[in-house]
Amino acid sequence: MHDERRRIEERVERVHTQRIKPAIYAATVPFEVEAWQAPGEPVPFAEAAAAPYEPFAMDTPWGPPWGTTWFRMRGQVPAEWAGKRVEAVIDLGFVGDWPGNQAEALVHLTDGTPLKAVNPLNQYVAIANPATGGEVIDYLVEAASNPDILANNFSAPTPMGDILTAGDKPLYTFQRADLAVLDEEVWHLDLDLQVLTELMVHLAEHEPRRHEIMHALDRAMDTLDLDDVSGSAAAVREVLAPVLARPAHASAHTVSGVGHAHIDSAWLWPIRETKRKTSRTFSNVTSLADEYEDFIFACSQAQQYEWVRDNYPKVWSRIQDSVKKGQWAPVGGMWVEADGNLPGGEAMARQLIHGKRFFIEHFGVETKGVWLPDSFGYTAAYPQLAKLAGNEWFLTQKISWNQTNKFPHHTFWWEGIDGTRIFTHFPPVDTYNARFSGEEMDRAVRNYREKGGGTRSLAPFGWGDGGGGPTREIMERARRLADLEGSPKVVIEHPDAFFAKAREEYEEAPVWNGELYLELHRATYTSQARTKQGNRRSEHKLREAELWATTAALHAPGYAYPYEKLDRLWKTVLLHQFHDILPGSSIAWVHREAEAEYARVAEELEALTAEAVAALGTGGTRVFNTSPCDRAEVVRTADGTPAYVEVPAGGSAPLTDAEPAQPVKAKGLVLDNGLVRVQVAEDGTLSSVYDLRSNREVLADKGNLLRLHTDLPNYWDAWDIDKHYKNRFTDLLSPDSVEVVSADPLLGAIRVTRSFGKGSTLTQTITLRADSPRVDFETEIDWHEAEKILKAGFPVDVRAAHSSAEIQFGHVQRPTHTNTSWEAARFEVSGHRWVHIGEPGYGVAVINDSTYGHDVSRTVREDGGTTTSVHLSLVRAPRIPDPEADQGKHRFTYSLLPGATIGDAVAEGYALNLPLRVADAAGAPEPVVSVDGDGVTVEAVKLADDESGDVVVRLYESSGGRARGVLRTGFPLAGAQVTDLLERPLPDEAAEIDDDGGIAVSLRPFQVLTLRLRRGATGR
């Protein structure tokens, strides 16, 4: 047989595109359209309905950046359309092939009822099927003119990322607003051709099935009457029916499809726009559920549900109905799809707590899995936290973006730092916006790494980010692919059902131990430093407010624990941990608002803490320690003078004139407190840090070396730092001044000022305190660089085989060598409050109060010694998507801790991030809880969320070994229970009170333990 593939494929493509698609709508009548441009921010429906509208013609420009235009569309279904399927078709002037990040609209009835959204790939609104003829249509359409921030493929920065800089030039030209008759036979023919042609071109050329489809398509084109597509469509479909009816092979892979619409809670649009995106998409989804009984939609992020509940009650009611029918599946069990690395341990627990509770309360549904398809890597703490929240499975997809190494599994057990395992799946379709194309189905099968062990994978389908979610066309594709030769089988089902089947057939799946590190987007540990600092400060201020509010509730008559305020503030912080806000990858508008929100949160939490402390009594001066570790350190009083205090963990002590054992001596540029001796060089670096306790020099070269690197990644400016950044740099070695600014026996300090680059300035106060080996670098930067990253380096004279970096409820160890491509790819990593390096018998920690990104490297010197270097990433200057990212002033502190064990790093990490509070207080009770036993660390103390008055304490083992201890309370204790994260009793776990009123605690490495403590009769 002659090879006629080219002729047939080109014939099918032309006829399909130029004749069949245009015939899908058999007849059209234009709407009469009027418009009103809303001034400023979006307005409620009632205001828009009462606004003055003016006539509006098609092909007219509309929509300034971030504007809202309301269109009134009136029309009447012609009488001759009776019995036909009639729809409204609206094209706002959609551009490009990205269904999100551009114009969108929500169509309302005149009584304010939202009907459905219109999006680039979802432009219809159902009117009648069948129509009776004569129906009068009157719509109010709220259209958002959102700009495309990433237009022109990242070629240049844009001012469009903030309403303050975007201008007012219209972005779109309205193309179409019609009443139309959908020719269902032609529409189905279009879908038949899509599925078959895409399947055909992705089959191997030697496959008989490819040629069978090709010749069937050729015969179908012969059957089509080009002058009467509608009249011949049924006959053409009959020709294609046999090839569409051929069943899949018995061994065909199964793709479990679940409807999905990944909507970033903020990214290239502000939070206010996400509130509208969710209403549009959720309107589409509930409409689609009415059309397709087999449709199932999985939706995460309780915050987005709450927005719809509060702002679109009619859409909310439809969601509730869909959940009851089993067509809408709440998943994920988190408040938002948070960043997978940066939130603190307690914050990550609260993400799960607040998300799970929302779905239980409003739908009676307890979600079973963590749904995080798009975060930028995943902490090794996740398996334990997910299980403690009652989850059974974990889903992500983002690791498929790895720059260097292909992840070896798609279905596996993920083991966390404490040994907990959770069943995990990466969809091999490599997208969370699937549409069941031939290319996607081919990729899903080709990629799948578990062949011979598993037979199925998941495919989330639907357009995200305001693209409108799943469409009827995608559902029709799924139906055709349910059992089709040459393709995997497609079944629409709940993700819980998929995970149950996948686990049943592949219980002995392989195990991946440790973090899921994304070999991309490494700069998200550093970009938008003020946003990250706001998060870190908020997490610790929340801890502080909860502890002292609990103390006051237990001991201060008349004090009321601020349940509602703390709940609201936690949710604000959790929202801003979304995986494009906290990582620093959003537009300027988002980060401008985030900084303002963090300031408001800090002010309110400060007031709550002050109120709680004041409730304990006034008339003296006390020092309050929120840290879980006892403190003996120098604190600054209200007038700024230093004082030395000793304060128990979680308790308070009077401010006294205690004398330290090791005061500070300052001589020239040398600070010495008998524990360490710090020498500052004339160039402002540390020329020596000598550990007097161990009689050894800590540094192998200049310490606190500030290095300014060129930082232009290949793509994704705010997201990525590529390895070549290391090749070009400038060391800041010419300070403007170096001077001693404090020679107090309690506190010695040397200040170094620098100016550099394009008008940037940096001031560092290098501080050594009495009785402490910790050297602080209090830093103020006025930053005006572009496409640069500033790092602070500490070359340490230790031979460290690995570094240890704090993560949620523990730490991870990472090799310092680059033996394999996996280690080499980790050239920038994340950590929380500290990173530790050491050799047997000696270690050093680098501690911070707001940075996350760092790198650790190792080299051998000419003298045979080994230098292990830690470089903290301080601040970046990407220009896309925010041209002014990180510009301006920053204040933060980082520290060097010589002679540190892991336990020392934990304690000082808390100390730096939880400064002692000096307040007017006459006295204070014993700490709410105290724990003896190394490694048993208190992370949270609060009252139970059910307002029962019970005290909830969250503990964890922080050293990486087994720990035993006894927990005691500062209040009468009547009972204790071990609970899950949601404060529900775990029946198989016991918490027994001994004769002295203590609770014995035994923890495995990095175990998290939540205790619910019932107060005795004499407690409030």
* Closest listed residue to residue 382, CA positions, set 215, 206, 512: 512
Please give the single-letter amino acid code of residue 614.
Answer: A
DSSP assigned state of 728: S
In a 3-state reduction of DSSP, which class is residue 946? Answer: coil
Determine the Cα–Cα distance for residues 139 and 126; give it in Å rounded to an integer. Answer: 12
- List residues bridging with 837 in a β-sheet: 803, 844
The helix, strand and coil proportions of the chain, stated in percent and rounded to the nearest 5, come to 25, 30, 40
For the CA atoms of the chain, what is the radius of gyration?
31
The tokens describing 586, both together, are 């959003």
Largest alpha-carbon pair distance within the chain?
101
Q: How far is CA 866 from the centre of its chain?
A: 38
Q: Which residue has the tokens 């609990």?
A: 550
Determine the Cα–Cα distance for residues 44 and 601; give it in Å rounded to an integer. Answer: 27
Question: What are the φ and ψ backbone dihedral angles of 675, each rounded to 5 degrees?
Answer: -105, -45
Determine the Cα–Cα distance for residues 257 and 901; give it in Å rounded to an integer. Answer: 50
The tokens describing 150, both together, are 């990433």
Residue 112: which residues within 8 A CB-CB, separation 6 or more? 45, 46, 49, 314
The tokens describing 677, both together, are 């001796």
Determine the Cα–Cα distance for residues 736 and 761; give it in Å rounded to an integer. Answer: 10
Q: Which helix H or strand E contains 173, and what residues bound it?
A: strand 172-173
363 CB neighbour count, 10 Å cutoff? 17
Determine the Cα–Cα distance for residues 710 and 728; give it in Å rounded to an integer. Answer: 6
For 54-57, the CB contacts below 8 A with 24+ separation are 56/174, 57/33
DSSP track, 440-477: HHHHHHHH-TTBTTB-EEEEEESB-TTS-B--HHHHHH
Q: Which residue has the tokens 């916006």?
A: 433
Catalytic residue among 148, 374, 782, 920: 374
SS (H, E, C) 816-878: CCCCCHHHHCCCCEECCCEEEEEECCEEEEEEECCCCEEEEEEEECCCCCEEEEEEEEEEECC
SS (H, E, C) 643-659: EEEEECCCCEEECCCCC
Determine the Cα–Cα distance for residues 217 and 244; give it in Å rounded to an integer. Answer: 11
Asked if residue 89 lies in contact with residue 110, where contact means CB atoms within 8 angstroms, the answer is no
Annotated active-site residue 374? The verdict is yes
Q: Assign residue 856 a region: left if phi > 0, alpha if psi is -120 to 50, beta otherwise?
A: beta
DSSP track, 282-337: HHHHHHHHHH-TT--EEE--HHHHHHHHHH-HHHHHHHHHHHHHT-EEE-S-SSS-
Query: Sheet containing 917-920: which strands, arranged edge to edge?
Result: 652-654, 621-624, 917-920
Q: How far is CA 1007 from the centre of its chain?
A: 24
Determine the Cα–Cα distance for residues 878 and 884; give it in Å rounded to an integer. Answer: 8
Looking at 453-513, list the stretches that DSSP marks H as alpha helix, in order from N- to C-terminal side: 472-480, 495-505
Q: How many CA atoms lie within 13 A of 438 on its CB side?
A: 18
Q: How far is CA 85 from the centre of its chain?
A: 42
CA dihedral of 751, 756, 761, 766, whole degrees rounded to 10: -20
The tokens describing 236, both together, are 């053409």
Active site residues: 374
